[in-house]
Amino acid sequence: MKRGAPGLWAAALSVYAFLYVPLAIVVLFSFNDSMLSAEWVGFTTRWYATLFADQQMLDAAANSLFIALSAASLSTVLGTMAGLAMARRRSAWLGGLPLLVLGPVAMPELLLGVSLLLFFRQVLDLTLGLLSILIAHVTFSIGFVAVVVRSSLAMLDESIFEAARDLGASSWQTFRHVTLPLIRPAVLAGFLMSFTLSIDDFVITFFVAGVGVTTLPLQIYSLIKVAVTPEINAVSTLLMALTLTLIALAAKLAPDALKGRL
């Protein structure tokens, strides 16, 4: 084994510190037994109790969960279909599909937020609320699902789908018995990613939420405009834990999806 130069180690450590120390501080102070986030007083879980007694916060969380689940489900279905179509790029016009689907992924969030707002207000004449947030979230999630599904298909020998037809499977049986089982991990990973993107989203939601409806990130933002309370640290910690868990799960599913089976 080669050992890295000490300088490299130090550089790597400082990058990780830069990334994770602020997060660690949030987690730490969510257990701090003091109203002020300045110094460590002692361990407590009372901010979590406060959090779960805060009706506004709970309403926001319920909205977030509802939107995330619905948006993730919808984008998974639509994104999987797009991914399948992209993998079968037989016709010329499907060649442009990857770019179209990935557009929202690469677009600056601010731009997407503004354009969706204009679209909902000027074109659809939609009242802003849960539905507009849901549509917006689906818009930026589809691309992620499509890409994961497509790359899982790209790893497969294309002739297995013909083999299925050749051996007597109808198109539906081929999808049901061959395609779906093989892309299932990718579909699941796509769902988890969409869920995470939706539940964490602030910028786009901010534009399309309207006045009546609030989500968790919006609620946190409206609170810190006043002051950073330990309760905000607590909700951030929970959100962070959820996000990290889902991302880790998705990362485990997607690249390792077919390992040991190919």
Partner 1 sequence: MPLLEIRKVSRRFGDLKALDDVSLSIEAGEFFTLVGPSGCGKTTLLRMIAGFDEPDDGELLLDGRLLAGISPEKRPVHTVFQSYALFPHLSVAQNVAFPLEMAGVGRDERRRRLAEALALVALTDKAERYPNELSGGQKQRVALARSLIDQPRVLLLDEPLAALDAKLREQIQGELIALQRKIGITFVFVTHSQQEALALSQRIAVMNQGRIEQIGAPAEIYNYPKNRFVADFIGTINLLPVEVREAAADHLRLFASGLGDLVGPPAATARPGQHGVLALRPEQVGIVAGVPAQELGNHFQGRVRDYLYLGDVTVYKVALDNGVIVEALVANSLPGPTRFLERGDPVGIAWRRDAGVYLHD
DSSP 66-82: HHHHHHHHHHHHHHHHH
Q: Counting contacts by CB under 8 A, is residue 163 touching partner 1?
A: yes
Query: Which of residues 225 and 261 has its CB atom nearest to partner 1 in the complex?
Result: 261
From 66-74, 112-120, 170-178, 230-238, span contacting partner 1 (CB under 8 A): 170-178
The residues near 9 (Cβ < 8 Å, ≥ 6 apart) are none
Minimal distance, residue 162 CB to partner 1, in Å: 6
Q: Residue 22 burial (CB < 10 Å; 0-12/13-18/19+)? A: exposed
| 157 in contact with partner 1 (CB under 8 A) | yes
Q: Please, which residues have CB within 8 angstroms of residue 95's CB and are 6 or more apart in sequence?
A: 89
C-beta of 27 vs 84, nearer to partner 1: 84
> Is residue 88 near partner 1 by the rule CB under 8 A?
no
Q: What would the two tokens of residue 43 be?
A: 């361990």
Contacts of 195 (CB under 8 A, 6+ apart): 68, 69, 71, 72, 246
* CB closer to partner 1 out of 69 and 84: 84
Rule CB under 8 A: say whether 169 interacts with partner 1.
Answer: yes
For partner 1, the binding residue among 26, 97, 102, 156 (CB under 8 A) is 156
Q: Is 90 in the site for partner 1 (CB under 8 A)?
A: no
Nearest partner of 147 among 70, 60, 80, 64, judged by Cα: 80
- For binding to partner 1 (CB under 8 A), which residues are involved? 156-157, 159-160, 162-170, 173, 177-178, 181-182, 258, 260-262
